[in-house]
Amino acid sequence: MSDVDCIIVGAGLAGLACARELSKAGRSLLLLEAGDCPGGRVATDRVEGFQIDRGFQVYLEAYPEGRRQLDLAALQFGWFEPGALVVDGGRLREVSDPWRRPWAAVKSLLSGMVGVGDGLRTSRLRSRLLAACRAGSLDPQLPGVAGERSTRAFLEANGFSEAFIARFFNPFFGGVFLEHGLETSESIFGFTFAMFALGRAGLPAGGMGAIPTQLAATLPSGSLRLGARVESIAPGHVALAGGESLSARSVVVATDADVAARILPGMVPAPRAWKSTRMVAFAAPKSPLDRPILVVGSDDSGTIDNLSVPSDIAAGYAPPGAALVLVTVRPECTLSDVDAVLAAKREAVKLLGAGAQAWEHLKTVHVPRSLPDETPAARRLRPASPRVADGLFVAGDWCTSASINGALVSGRLAAEAVLSERG
Ligand SMILES: Cc1cc2nc3c(=O)[nH]c(=O)nc-3n(C[C@H](O)[C@H](O)[C@H](O)COP(=O)(O)OP(=O)(O)OC[C@H]3O[C@@H](n4cnc5c(N)ncnc54)[C@H](O)[C@@H]3O)c2cc1C
């Protein structure tokens, strides 16, 4: 038996954020995590002196909830340059942010990468989305709207050319959404676009796993229990694998949607489909890029979906005298892991020069359950409130939006619901 105000199941970002809010409000809590470290889908492994995140992820500087909950200065972020180098017809071409790198944006126009019409449409879209963001009407935490469209339908309705969608929006936001049809809802696109426009994308010095580590460090000692897998739940009671039973006045289930549906049968919507990702990490003698920028692939036939050099961005990703290169493999690629490594290297040699021949494979990371489906139809299935029964609550990115910001928001909302029920 435990004697705490609240048990939280799952120490991903949502569970950690919930625990932090409850602890700040003076509530006693126990955070139960099945795995061997906090962070869930945000984790970093150490391999031969390199820091390898479990799947390519970035933190967006403008995330409002991150500003609220994280000590960003202590995380010592390094930042990507705005924009991207797009692989187009086997060559690298720049798409730049005209508000932050005007001269580079002029070059994008001159190179034909961005037509004048699409440039103007992007400018109008940016103003509209930033105004909506400031007015609070762009919040992806708002309930799903019946008439919400896919990102692709939204871009087409806004007059963007097929060529620009294929050359920029699809590779860049497809990489963020881990899909290539731009089926993700327009509200997620709008918020993400605004976040990229308002700030930079970055990596913390300790790897992405430093974010949950920082949150976990704010909790009272002894409140996080690792290796504690919850098997079933009834209001006020939690049963662990192994037979132990714990009780508390409130229970928050902050797992992913599949686990929540299993341990809270009939209380939460059916789980949504997952999007998966495969990332290959290489050790390189030096960075293949001359600046800290993301490379995204737009060639349908290629293996490389995106390529980054985290050691150019933040300290700690590679040992001295080496660089870490990450390649996210296109979701459609059916090559075996061994062949995907060879194909990625071959493509890198063509794009970035013969130096890529010296890259050594460090690790291939598979994340089969990366992001829940965020089509407009899937988003309408989100729970209406974190409270699913008396004393029972849910949190997780599937309740809000599939991002670091969304997971942090959902944890805070669940904590607020616990506090308002229990006073
Ligand atoms: C490859 C990849 C790329 C991404 N890219 C970005 C990005 O660039 N920017 C961005 O903002 N977001 C990105 N995301 C999304 C973001 O990482 C997630 O939305 C967020 O981490 C989800 O947090 P969560 O707490 O909701 O869920 P999770 O992280 O899944 O946490 C759930 C926790 O519950 C635990 N658990 C499960 N079952 C049990 C049980 N029975 N008992 C006890 N504990 C249990 C799990 O072990 C886990 O720790 C990416 C995610 C992935 C995987």
307-343 pLDDT, tens digit per residue, is: 999 999 999 999 999 999 999 999 889 999 999 999 9
Centroid of ligand 1 to alpha carbon of 18 (angstroms):
14
What ligand 1 atom has the least distance to the C-alpha of 17? 25
Average pLDDT over residues 362-378: 95
What percent of the chain is modeled with pLDDT above 90?
75
Mutation to probe ligand 1, out of 36, 57, 179 (largest number of atoms < 8 A from CB)? 57
pLDDT over 70 at 268, yes or no? yes
From residue 246, how far is each of 21, 205, 242 by CA, in Å? 21, 37, 12
What ligand 1 atom has the least distance to the C-alpha of 35? 47
Backbone angles phi, psi at 305, to 5 degrees: -85, -50
Cα 151 from Cα 143, distance rounded (Å) = 17
117-139 pLDDT, tens digit per residue, is: 888 898 899 999 999 888 888 88
**What pLDDT score was predicted for residue 195?**
93
Backbone angles phi, psi at 235, to 5 degrees: -50, 125
Centroid of ligand 1 to alpha carbon of 251 (angstroms):
19
**Side-by-side strand order, sheet with 59-60:** 59-60, 201-204, 77-79
pLDDT over 60 at 13, yes or no? yes
Centroid of ligand 1 to alpha carbon of 44 (angstroms):
13
From residue 348, how far is each of 44, 81, 171, 188 by CA, in Å? 24, 20, 17, 31
Helices vs strands, H then E, count in the chain: 14, 20
Cα 305 from Cα 303, distance rounded (Å) = 6
**What pLDDT score was predicted for residue 388?**
95
Cα 307 from Cα 172, distance rounded (Å) = 11
Q: Which residue has a Cα nearest atom 1 of ligand 1?
A: 55
- Give the domain 4-42+209-271+374-422 fold: FAD/NAD(P)-binding domain (3.50.50)
Model confidence band, residue 114 (pLDDT cutoffs 50, 70, 90)? low
Cα 67 from Cα 70, distance rounded (Å) = 6
% helix, strand, coil for the chain, step of 5? 35, 25, 40
Centroid of ligand 1 to alpha carbon of 209 (angstroms):
11
Parallel, antiparallel, or unpaired: how do β-strands 392-394 and 387-389 relate?
antiparallel
Q: How many Cβ atoms are within 10 Å of 331's Cβ, its own excluded?
A: 16
Q: Which residues lie across from 69 on neighbouring strands?
A: none
Model confidence band, residue 154 (pLDDT cutoffs 50, 70, 90)? very high
**What pLDDT score was predicted for residue 338?**
97
**Cα Rg, the chain, nearest whole Å:** 22
| Mean of the per-residue pLDDT values of the chain | 91
Centroid of ligand 1 to alpha carbon of 375 (angstroms):
19
Model confidence band, residue 264 (pLDDT cutoffs 50, 70, 90)? very high
CB 56 within 8 A of CB 294: no
* 109 against 253, higher pLDDT: 253
Centroid of ligand 1 to alpha carbon of 223 (angstroms):
20
Its sign, for the CA torsion 50, 52, 56, 59, is negative
Model confidence band, residue 108 (pLDDT cutoffs 50, 70, 90)? low
Q: Which residue has a Cα nearest atom 41 of ligand 1?
A: 230
Centroid of ligand 1 to alpha carbon of 371 (angstroms):
8
Its pTM stands at 0.95
Q: At what angle do helices 210-217 and 13-24 cross, to 10 degrees?
A: 20
Could you write out the DSSP letters of every residue in 86-117? Answer: EEETTEEEEE--TTT-HHHHHHHHHTTSS-HH
What ligand 1 atom has the least distance to the C-alpha of 41? 29
Mutation to probe ligand 1, out of 211, 232, 253, 255 (largest number of atoms < 8 A from CB)? 255
What ligand 1 atom has the least distance to the C-alpha of 208? 17
Model confidence band, residue 170 (pLDDT cutoffs 50, 70, 90)? confident
**What pLDDT score was predicted for residue 144?**
65
What ligand 1 atom has the least distance to the C-alpha of 411? 25
Centroid of ligand 1 to alpha carbon of 215 (angstroms):
14
E-assigned strand segments in 300-358: 304-308, 323-329
Centroid of ligand 1 to alpha carbon of 288 (angstroms):
31
Q: How many Cβ atoms are within 10 Å of 228's Cβ, its own excluded?
A: 21
Model confidence band, residue 109 (pLDDT cutoffs 50, 70, 90)? low
Q: Which residue has a Cα nearest atom 49 of ligand 1?
A: 40
Q: Which residue has a Cα nearest atom 7 of ligand 1?
A: 57
201-214 pLDDT, tens digit per residue, is: 999 999 999 999 99
From residue 87, how far is each of 58, 264, 340 by CA, in Å? 20, 45, 18
Domains of the chain, by residue range, sit at 4-42+209-271+374-422, 44-80+200-205+274-372, 106-197
Model confidence band, residue 101 (pLDDT cutoffs 50, 70, 90)? low
Q: At what angle do helices 404-422 and 13-24 cross, to 10 degrees?
A: 40
Centroid of ligand 1 to alpha carbon of 255 (angstroms):
8
The label of the residue with tokens 């991002």 reads 403
**What pLDDT score was predicted for residue 276?**
95
Q: Does domain 44-80+200-205+274-372 have CATH number 3.90.1150.10?
A: no
Cα 212 from Cα 16, distance rounded (Å) = 7
**What pLDDT score was predicted for residue 95?**
74
Model confidence band, residue 175 (pLDDT cutoffs 50, 70, 90)? confident
Cα 283 from Cα 287, distance rounded (Å) = 10
Q: Which residues line ligand 1 (CB under 6 A)?
A: 9-15, 32-35, 40-42, 55, 57-58, 229-230, 254-256, 259, 277, 367, 370-371, 396-397, 402-407
**What pLDDT score was predicted for residue 116?**
79
- The two structure tokens encoding residue 364: 């291939």
pLDDT over 80 at 100, yes or no? no
**What pLDDT score was predicted for residue 335?**
96
Side-chain half-sphere of 285: how many Cα atoms within 13 Å? 5
